[in-house]
Structure 1
């Protein structure tokens, strides 16, 4: 791979961010200014192979540099799911109860409210998990089903120099089980971000059930 000038990493980043469906991007170079990693956060309207080809073609056309597809990593996030659904976040509360933490999440559909509560041993990670659990319980209330969703895992991941909550939600009903994934960019209100990550994981599923 060709060496590039020091300022090209920023220029490549700016170029990639102008491509369709790309939301954020970071470019990592070696001490010799060789492109080693390209991380991009994108929407879901284009598949990953097409996004990779777009990035390769744009860099080659603009700078004459051939980029190996192996250095390009792309994460996709469907922010439209949360915006399009009529199921909205109405409120979140977190209370300390002795050595426990209780999270309450209220979702709203038209003029109806659906509340979920979850309690865990007090810790920061458990607070976030309790919020996720409460969100799933509220969803089950909305769908009028019981014990179908569960939190498989939730982690903070770094993509394009932005922190995201990424979660995997399990769904088990009628003898069938599947895993659903979602994520949301962390903003000033991390509690709300957890709810959005959970909703991004399950929105497609609940749209087929509601």
Structure 2
């Protein structure tokens, strides 16, 4: 079977869309798109744009496109201050209700209570990379509640392999920190260029009874500012998980068994 290359044609077509700042496409063995990463400016509706992307690619390439292979990350309105915000495919927002009268001021909460109600956060503590026999193995360490959690992933040391390995390792470390109450699975990871800057885009799935029966799609992006591709990919993956990690970290955690003295 003749291999039809569509990567260059697909990326060129996507960049024609006014809201698209950058695009990256990965091909399957037949040369058809199997991953489509798009970075867009603030404003457009993500769900509608995903359909537009699918329709455009099907028209230009003449082949069917599964919309599930399309991941979209959207720049915040002030990308200089907050370069990228996480975007997921959500239902349209309900129209704003009429403004209500301001509520009376509440007394400040004690510091201890503020700490209890604050959103739990993971702390990035390190990354280790080993390359052997053309394969790279990456380990990511995270901290939470005084404990350290590690995730590991391996990929071929070629193309976007290091990006995918670092993103997968970060998601596995985050899953471990949630004690498997939420499982985060990597779907796609890629580097795209926008505004003369490189970004790492990561799309993932969150799977948990806490989130319902269906996997929740997540997308995160991180600007490649330090030149450290693996670190940037890990941070992009954690950004993707931000929407659900708080729920997983707040889930009941098993208490250590109490020691019992047995006397004869």
Q: Which has the higher strand share?
A: 1
Q: Which residue of 1 aligns with 2:75?
A: 75
Highest Rg: 1 or 2? Answer: 2
Q: Which residue of 2 aligns with 1:129?
A: 164
Q: Which residue of 2 aligns with 1:48?
A: 43
Contact 1:86 1:110 in 2 (8 A): no
CA-to-aligned-CA distance 1:51-73 (integer Å, 9 cap, x gap): xxxxxxxxxxxxxxxxxxxxxxx
Rounded Cα–Cα distance in structure 1 between residues aligned with 2:141 and 2:125: 5
Q: CA RMSD in A?
A: 2.8
Aligned positions, number:
142
Q: 1:39 to 1:102 in 2, by over 3 A?
A: closer
Q: Which residue of 1 aligns with 2:233?
A: 194
Task: Give the CA deviation at 1:39.
Answer: 7.4
Unaligned runs of 5+ in 2: 1-16, 22-41, 45-73, 77-83, 87-118, 250-264
Match of 1:181 among 197, 201, 219: 219
Match of 1:162 among 180, 192, 197: 197
Task: Give the CA deviation at 1:124.
Answer: 4.2
Task: Give the CA deviation at 1:196.
Answer: 1.1
Match of 1:104 among 139, 155, 164: 139
Contact 1:75 1:159 in 2 (8 A): no
Contact 2:160 2:190 in 1 (8 A): no
Secondary structure of 1:169's counterpart equals strand
Contact 2:181 2:248 in 1 (8 A): no
Task: Give the CA deviation at 1:160.
Answer: 1.7
CA-to-aligned-CA distance 1:154-186 (integer Å, 9 cap, x gap): 121222221111111112234421210010001
TM-score by length of 2: 0.48
Secondary structure of 1:48's counterpart equals coil
Unaligned runs of 5+ in 1: 1-35, 41-46, 50-73
Rounded Cα–Cα distance in structure 2 between residues aligned with 1:85 and 1:156: 29
Q: 1:85 to 1:191 in 2, by over 3 A?
A: farther
Q: Which has the higher helix share?
A: 1
CA-to-aligned-CA distance 1:106-131 (integer Å, 9 cap, x gap): 01124211101112233242122111
Q: Which residue of 2 aligns with 1:153?
A: 188
Task: Give the CA deviation at 1:99.
Answer: 3.4
Rounded Cα–Cα distance in structure 2 between residues aligned with 1:136 and 1:168: 11
